[in-house]
Structure 1
Amino acid sequence: MEISLHPVAASDAAWLIERHHVLYAQDEGFDDSFGALVAQIVTEFLATRIDGREQGWIAWRDGRRLGSIFVVQRDAQVAKLRLFLLEPEARGTGLAQRMLEQAFGFARAAGYAQIVLWTHESHRAAGRLYARNGFALVESEPQHSFGQDVVAQTWHRNL
């Protein structure tokens, strides 16, 4: 069955929080503070989303969620990509590219000139995807976050 992208709904909140928490704990060793951060991001988005300027999507196939991606406003000209996640079974299928293109199209239509994101160096496949899609790595900084020593990265792309 075909994968479809649907706007995020309040009924997606528990899945978003749980899957980010579980997958990042499993893959990166992140502690509970990461799940708490995701819960805060999701709660704020659902409560304060700016119509026409912010949107999130959930990828679905056969009644099952496969991933998420969000575009939120950082400021009038800059959008921020957030909560980009794929279930392990959906990785390497082209879905990540499709979701990025959805986010770029929305951000352009909303009038943003640039899109930025924050991630970790350990997400090498994601970094390659971002680089292939015109993002430039503009900052890389060692930190201790979510119970782990990480290298935080900031990426920018003009729209």
Structure 2
Amino acid sequence: MEELVARVRGFNRFYTRVIGVLGAGMHDTAYSLTEGRVLYELDKKDTTETGELRRMLDLDAGYLSRMLARFETDGLITRERSPEDARRQLVRLSEQGRAVWKMLDDASAAGVRALLQPLTEEDRRRLIAAATTIQHILDDRPAPEAYVIRPPRPGDLGWVVHRHGVLYVEEHGWDETFEAMAARIVAGYAGGHDPRREACWIAEVDGEPAGSVFCLKRDDRTAQLRLLLVEPSARGMGIGGRLVDECLSFAKRAGYERIILMTVDALTTARRIYERAGFVLDEQYAKSAYGTEVTEQYWSRPL
């Protein structure tokens, strides 16, 4: 835990310097980063109650009062008493205030563009994905509901192997032989597959891989669904069912008559997805695998 605390504190110090760089574009203006944030919040609404503004930004009441007084003197805002409660004060940006906010917003955007410009497209994706992950973990708001299903990009197949190895150890206690099996499947696909009869899909959430599935050839008439995975952070979004649907649609278009899959009885969430997709259990066997005892199940459905 202490090492983790030190790493987080180190990141905080680093990011404080980054914020300073991003705020450099405002140094030529008469407004601080905090004042820019207040103008940002005021720009989002027609009117804002001062108490709400203070709570939203966690500002000292006296500090906020002095800031708003300065804004009013500069002609950036107007203030009035609430008609419902005279104790409440309502704040509204003036046209001049909105023009000042646009100037500050443009300066801030220019700073971010300068920060991103030297980065490769891959590094930009990694940066956004990492920032989004931090926000989702530390924020108590619900996870995003949007995702995309796409073909794999360079690096995605390695991610599939890595995440199968990590998740099945963490969630089921399986050993490295399962990761080895995933690696063999992926290597066979990458080493030479017929794109007319075999395919892979990656689910992506906020620019980061969040799930996978493969449709592979078993024989001329039979396809096999393999390596279905959904990240814990993306579960409940319908990604697993959508990946299975993609696999089934492709298999039918590719001319297969039947599709099969192998799973184990402990994977109850995956089993429910397969059942909803029309798969039926053909047979099951108890065996030793992946460093433990499992019940392998074989499912199929016609196409």
TM above 0.5, one fold?
Answer: yes
Q: Of 219, 222, 239, which aligns to 1:75?
A: 219
- Alpha-carbon RMSD across the aligned residues, in angstroms, is 1.1
Q: Distance in 1 between matches of 2:204 and 2:195?
A: 22
Determine if contact 2:218/2:224 at 8 Å carries over to the other structure.
Answer: yes
Structure 2: which 5+ runs fail to align?
A: 1-143
Query: Residues 24-82 of structure 1, C-alpha deviation per residue, up to 9 Å, x if partnerless?
Result: 01111110111111111111100121121000001112110000000000001100000
Q: Which amino acid aligns with 1:146?
A: Y
Structure 2 counterpart of 1:92: 236
> Which stretch shows the higher mean deviation, 13-22 or 147-156?
13-22
Q: Of 169, 172, 175, which aligns to 1:25?
A: 169
Structure 2 counterpart of 1:14: 158
Structure 1: which 5+ runs fail to align?
A: none
Determine if contact 1:10/1:46 at 8 Å carries over to the other structure.
Answer: no
Whether 2:270 is the aligned partner of 1:126: answer yes
Determine if contact 1:17/1:39 at 8 Å carries over to the other structure.
Answer: yes
Q: Distance in 2 between matches of 1:13 and 1:53?
A: 18
Q: Distance in 2 between matches of 1:125 and 1:61?
A: 20
Query: Residues 90-122 of structure 1, C-alpha deviation per residue, up to 9 Å, x if partnerless?
Result: 212111111111111101100011110000000
Alignment of 1:1-159 (within 5 A): 2-159=146-303
Q: Distance in 2 between matches of 1:48 and 1:97?
A: 27
Q: Distance in 2 between matches of 1:14 and 1:108?
A: 27
Runs of 4+ in 1 over 6 A off after TM superposition: none
Determine if contact 1:56/1:69 at 8 Å carries over to the other structure.
Answer: yes
Helix, strand or coil: the match of 1:83? strand
> Which stretch shows the higher mean deviation, 127-136 or 111-120?
127-136
Of all paired residues, the percent bearing the same amino acid is 38
Helix, strand or coil: the match of 1:127? helix
Q: Which gives a bigger RCO, structure 1 or 2 (Cα 8 Å, sep 6+)? A: 1
Helix, strand or coil: the match of 1:92? coil
Q: Distance in 2 between matches of 1:30 and 1:138?
A: 24
Helix, strand or coil: the match of 1:16? helix
Q: Distance in 2 between matches of 1:141 and 1:10?
A: 37
Higher-Rg member (1/2): 2
Q: Which amino acid aligns with 1:31?
A: D
Q: TM-score, normalised by structure 1?
A: 0.96
Q: Which amino acid aligns with 2:263?
A: T
Aligned residue-pair number: 159
Q: TM-score, normalised by structure 2?
A: 0.51
Determine if contact 2:147/2:203 at 8 Å carries over to the other structure.
Answer: yes
Determine if contact 1:13/1:42 at 8 Å carries over to the other structure.
Answer: yes
Specify whether residues 30 and 122 from structure 1 end up closer, same or farther in structure 2 by C-alpha distance, changes over 3 A only.
same
